[in-house]
Amino acid sequence: MSKNLCKNPIVILISGGGSNMAAIVRAAQTGRWRERFDAEVSAVISNRADAGGLAFAREQGIVTAVLNHRDYATREAFDAALAAQIDLYQPALVVLAGFMRILTPDFVARYAGRLLNIHPSLLPAFPGLHTHQRAIDAGCCFAGATVHQVTAQLDHGPILKQAVVPVLPGDTAHTLAARVLTQEHRIYPQAIEDHLRGV
Ligand code: GAR
């Protein structure tokens, strides 16, 4: 656990590369969240030991933890263990940043109002997986990303911020994902800062 406890700890959950998590950590540094909001990223937790983002978090001196969902017999058991780990930090915010797990209603209820997610589509369009390919296949002219409060329904909940990008001729899921990701790195820290500011 962090040695210098702050009033508004943030816990970030990741499953992969963690580029959104890194963008949030950098925004916390450059935006002086500790001084302005008494907030800091206190821990990064992954359900995968090979999540690339863990190395970045450790380099930043952030506590990391891994809970492998395969070690738990049920979704409920995993979510209970995850909640116990999160609660060590008494977070003001729990931030899902590419955390590729469906959460149980109990878990969502526990963090109601302080659980955020980013999804790589313009919700309510394209909840779920393969958003970029689905946007291309549907002939969309625009794609984007959404930061939202998490509710028990997957990829739903009050929208806090969105960013729009064009779908360009010749786009693949890969090129479109990269364009959207750049915008994710902009709006996720903004949404968190707004939340900390109370707007
Ligand atoms: C991001 O594009 C994020 O929006 C998406 O996973 C990627 C994680 O990238 N999340 C989801 O699809 C959740 N439904 P990152 O690990 O580099 O932040």
The yes-or-no verdict on residue 2 having pLDDT over 90 is no
Which domain CATH number covers 111? 3.40.50.170
Inside any domain, residue 90 = yes
- Tokens matching residue 159: 């929208």
119 included as an active-site residue? yes
This prediction has a pTM of 0.97
Inside any domain, residue 174 = no
In the reported structure, the alpha carbon of residue 79 is separated from the centroid of ligand 1 by a whole-number distance in angstroms of 20
Domain total of the chain:
1
- H/E element holding 111? none
- Tokens matching residue 90: 């008494």
User: Counting atoms of ligand 1 from 1, which one is nearest the CA of 16?
Assistant: 16
Pocket test for ligand 1, best of 19, 115, 133 (most atoms within 8 A of CB): 19
* Catalytically annotated residue among 119, 132, 148, 195: 119
**Structural domain of 74:** 8-119+146-162+187-197
Strand partners, 65: 45
Nearest to residue 79, comparing CAs of 115, 131, 41? 115
- Per-residue model confidence (pLDDT) at position 34: 97
The yes-or-no verdict on residue 114 having pLDDT over 80 is yes
Inside any domain, residue 173 = no
Q: What is the pLDDT of residues 97-113, one digit of tens each?
A: 999 999 999 999 999 99
Contact in structure between 44 and 64 (CB atoms under 8 Å): yes
Inside any domain, residue 18 = yes
- H/E element holding 165? strand 159-166
Inside any domain, residue 1 = no
Inside any domain, residue 170 = no
- Tokens matching residue 145: 């990303």
Q: What is the pLDDT of residues 158-181, one digit of tens each?
A: 999 999 999 999 999 999 999 999
Separation between Cα atoms, residue 65 and residue 44, nearest integer Å: 7
Beta-carbon count within 10 A of 187 CB: 20
Taking each helix axis from N to C end, the angle separating 19-30 and 173-197, rounded to the nearest 10 degrees, works out to 40
Inside any domain, residue 181 = no
Inside any domain, residue 86 = yes
**Mean pLDDT rounded to a whole number for the chain:** 96
Contact in structure between 189 and 24 (CB atoms under 8 Å): yes
